[in-house]
Amino acid sequence: MGDATLFFITLAVLIIVSPMFSNITKLPIAVIEILLGSLAVWVGLLEADSEIFKSLSKIGFFYLMFLAGLEIDLKKFVAKREFLLKKALTYFVTIYLVAFIYYLVFDLNPIYIIAIPIVSLGMVMALINEQGKGFGWLEIVLIVGVMGEILSITAIVIYKSVIYFGLGFELYKNIAIFLAVLYLMYQALKLSNTLFWWYPELKESIMPQNDSKSQSVRVSVALFIILIGIMNLLHIDMVLGAFFAGIFIANFFEHKKDLPHTLHKVGFGFLVPLFFIYVGSTLDLNLVFSAKILTNAFLILLAIFSVRFIGANIAHSSHLSPSERLLLAFGDSMPLTFLIAISTIGYEAELITKDEYLSFVLAGMLSGIVVMSIIKALIGRLYKKDATSS
């Protein structure tokens, strides 16, 4: 049997058995996929450095960000924008300020100022897929995640530009291009809103109700690919393109009630598991037995959670209960992909040691495995108690 054949068969088996193990162990399915990916590499069924695997995982991650965009209701956001922006600003100022204090007090590498507050929506979407959006704190986690992801992408763009170009023209050019793209995306959303308001029949033409030829899915995937391609052409993080494609579909084709459900099934049934399995495959299980790296990873994870816990209590004490603020802090403490991304940039630029890099990677993995499991346990305990008492 060829290597490629074994690779695809292994992936297929892992995708199939993940829900079964999740049901047996009661662990979140994303956690199971990460663990199975680690085990598959450990026993030699998968190769972590496979370029095919890496490319497939990127598609899965981009699609995950596309699904994150699908969850954004701009009308609801605009209606609450003053409240949400004020709370979000307080939250992010707090977590970045506390991260800076940690950097000074513990004499840390400057990368920690960016890494500790960094936000990624990957695991948040996995959590929403399992739990729904019925919890008030989880809706705030999503809103915080959206804003935090854009802030994090901005931080990564600036950090990467400073490393490779210094404080010169290229740095300012890259930042200007990034801000221009954000502004153009905003204007494109406004223009589309005006266009569909004047010509509502366009929505039906683009995505008909009688959709026997799956035109709606084709248009969604086409927009997903086009915006990713544009971001790649402009040398901007392609995640942004996938994310805005999801926002566009969700807010201008709301007459297609079944479309988000269909796109979610495609994503979490096939593409997204590829990403989580790949993330697990990059974790060398032998690292777990290194006391130094394991200790550092837990300290990083503790720092990630603590800044968010402080931020949640300062920004959201007026409208969330203590247990909801705790869940909010945990829900935002899973920056799996971007934590790995920022540490990879730092390591390749020789700004952090290999041990620091491995600690960040392990912390990212643990944020997906440990924190997700804690959240699920807390939800089961707290809301089961509420249901019993009522």
Summarize the confidence of residues 311-316 as an average pLDDT: 92
**In whole numbers, what is the pLDDT of the chain averaged over residues?**
83
Please give the helix or strand (H or E) that residue 49 lies within, else none. Answer: none
Q: Which residues contact 377 (CB under 8 A, 6 or more apart)?
A: none
User: What 3-state DSSP class applies to 236?
Assistant: coil
Is the Cβ–Cβ distance between 124 and 145 less than 8 Å?
yes
Is the Cβ–Cβ distance between 317 and 73 less than 8 Å?
no
User: How far is it, in rounded angstroms, from Cα 166 to Cα 163?
Assistant: 6
Band (pLDDT 50/70/90 cuts) for residue 326 is: very high
User: What 3-state DSSP class applies to 213?
Assistant: coil
- Is residue 333 exposed (0-12), middle (13-18) or buried (19+ Cβ within 10 Å)? buried
* Least confident segment among 52-66, 72-86, 278-292, 369-383: 72-86
Q: Is the pLDDT of residue 237 over 80?
A: no
pLDDT 10s digits, 148-168: 877 887 787 777 777 777 777
- Angle of the 272-281 helix axis to the 3-25 helix axis, nearest 10: 100
Helix and strand counts by DSSP (H, E) for the chain: 19, 0
Residue with tokens 């926002």: 247
The CA-to-CA distance between both ends of the chain, in Å, stands at 59
Q: Is the pLDDT of residue 103 over 90?
A: yes
Please state the separation of Cα 200 from the chain's center in Å: 33
- Residue whose C-alpha is closest to residue 276's, from 169, 149, 162, 364: 364
The pLDDT value given to residue 129: 77
Please give the helix or strand (H or E) that residue 95 lies within, else none. Answer: helix 81-105
- Residue whose C-alpha is closest to residue 346's, from 37, 108, 34, 167: 108
Q: Is the pLDDT of residue 389 over 60?
A: no
pLDDT 10s digits, 43-75: 888 887 788 888 888 888 888 888 878 877 777
pTM of the model: 0.78
DSSP structural state of residue 285: G
pLDDT 10s digits, 82-102: 677 788 889 999 999 999 999
Q: Which residues contact 130 (CB under 8 A, 6 or more apart)?
A: 28, 29, 376
- Is residue 23 exposed (0-12), middle (13-18) or buried (19+ Cβ within 10 Å)? exposed
Band (pLDDT 50/70/90 cuts) for residue 267 is: confident
Q: Is the pLDDT of residue 283 over 50?
A: yes
- Residue whose C-alpha is closest to residue 339's, from 176, 99, 93, 29: 99
The pLDDT value given to residue 2: 55
- Residue whose C-alpha is closest to residue 274's, from 128, 43, 62, 120: 62
The pLDDT value given to residue 387: 47
User: How far is it, in rounded angstroms, from Cα 125 to Cα 129?
Assistant: 6
Is the Cβ–Cβ distance between 243 and 66 less than 8 Å?
yes
Number of domains in the chain: 1
DSSP string, 315-347: HSTTTS-HHHHHHHHHHT---HHHHHHHHHHHH
The pLDDT value given to residue 390: 47
The pLDDT value given to residue 312: 93
| Domain, as residue range, for 145 | 3-389
Is the Cβ–Cβ distance between 207 and 217 less than 8 Å?
no
pLDDT 10s digits, 109-148: 888 998 999 887 777 877 887 777 778 788 888 888 878 8
> What CATH number did the domain enclosing 336 receive?
1.20.1530.20
- Is residue 155 exposed (0-12), middle (13-18) or buried (19+ Cβ within 10 Å)? buried
Band (pLDDT 50/70/90 cuts) for residue 308 is: very high
* Least confident segment among 76-80, 281-285, 319-323: 76-80
Quick count: other Cβ atoms within 10 Å of Cβ 17?
Answer: 13
